[in-house]
Amino acid sequence: MLHLFYTILSYIIQPFILLMMWNRGRKQPAYRHRLAERYAYYDNDQQPVENGVLVHAASVGEVIAATPLIKAIQEKYPTLPITVTTVTPTGSAQVHSAFGNSVSHFYLPYDLPDAMTRFLDFVKPKLIIVIETELWPNLIHKAHTRDIAFVIANARLSPRSAKRYGWIKSGLAKILNKIDLIMAQDAVSAERYLNLGFHQQNLVNTGNLKFDLEINNELRNQVELTRKELNLQQRPVWITGSTHEGEEKILLEAHKQLLTRWHDLVLILVPRHPERFASVEDLLIKSELNYTKRTDKVALDANSQVLLGDTMGEMMTLYGLAQIAFVGGSLVKHGGHNPLEPIAFELPVISGVHTFNFPEVFAKLRYVKGVIEIKSEVEDLVQAVDFLLENPNACQAISQAGFSVLQENQGALKRHMALLAPYIEK
């Protein structure tokens, strides 16, 4: 009954979804492109290779989390076709940035029975791997009826999602138990899936793939090249990554105050969503800070105080340019973003207190004093950045404590690959 109600409702809301996509396309035109793909209609020149692995990673964060797994699969099974799906243009851009033409990429269609039938007829995968949190009842059901293995990798279930799913627990259990394997990223998420009725024998706590992040020589070379291009070799830099509405005003005011003492300090400000680039630029104009946009591809001059990171696929490169990182989504009640990306560069991390998207990661960081947590006040942020700039030994101690957490918790990728092997090699 729940599945039927969900499907009927999904059809009813389609006109509203199309209107939303069209409106969203005003700020980000890519949302108006390739709309046919969202209903699983494809051009003749779009042809994935059959009998491969389908990896669904909703947007940028999930694509980044999936990247080491996909590359490990490519390395171990070099002839295996891989198709990656996303639901956002930014996720699509991240796929192309990370993999080029080595994978096929399409948008995952809306979860309608006819669209999912066309989609599976088109891709014909032997294994579907969904990254982190995406539960699509019709996709799960269609895969089950076709005997296509369905796995959730690096599975995460937030408190909000667990509460929402709990309202429909009895009906949801039937859908969940059509999933072959859930590889939970932490004990908290594992327990939440079990509480929703998922069978324990098909659930493994593998750890978080995001701990297996490594900075390779190619990325380090790109960082140094970018540092020279931007003329940042001799200037201190702090970065605020993946920021949300309500945070930028605090960050810009903090930077203004820091400049009274650290005159050549540069802030790299990177909003989470591209559709907000213009509104954040408006805030920069009102702040009267001198700024340069990354898309302008010009070096910062002596008067430049802020670099607006308004590109896609460069987050890791921009983190590499900094000496201190603030991770966004944490001064407001968004739940925070992945602190392990700057930690991989051995940067000290500052965060707000709203980090419920990564409970175990932040618990481990707090335990070893590998993060500075602040309230949503300008003064607290100024004090934290000022302390790190003034105390290089303390800065290094915090960064190394965080880096030790990253190193000590690696191994999820190896566990994922071992559990996926029977499905890939079937």
List active site positions.
62
Q: Show the tokens assigned to 53.
A: 């692995």
Asked whether the beta carbons of 371 and 351 are under 8 A apart, the reply is yes
Neighbouring CB atoms inside 10 A of 57's CB total 30
Backbone angles phi and psi of 387, in degrees to 5: -60, -45
Residue written as token pair 């390779």: 216
Amino acid at 220: R
Judged on CB neighbours under 10 Å (0-12, 13-18, 19+), 115 is buried
Q: What is the DSSP string of 66-102?
A: HHHHHHHHHHHSTT--EEEEESSHHHHHHHHHHHTTS
Q: CA 339, CA 359: separation in Å to the nearest integer?
A: 11
Residue written as token pair 């989504």: 329
Q: CA 344, CA 239: separation in Å to the nearest integer?
A: 14
Asked whether the beta carbons of 413 and 209 are under 8 A apart, the reply is yes
The CA-based dihedral angle spanning residues 335, 272, 109, 150, taken in that order and rounded to the nearest 10 degrees: -50
Bridge partners for 155 per DSSP: 184
Please give the biggest Cα pair distance in the chain.
65
Q: Show the tokens assigned to 236.
A: 């201190």
Q: Show the tokens assigned to 33.
A: 């492109």
Q: CA 145, CA 247: separation in Å to the nearest integer?
A: 46
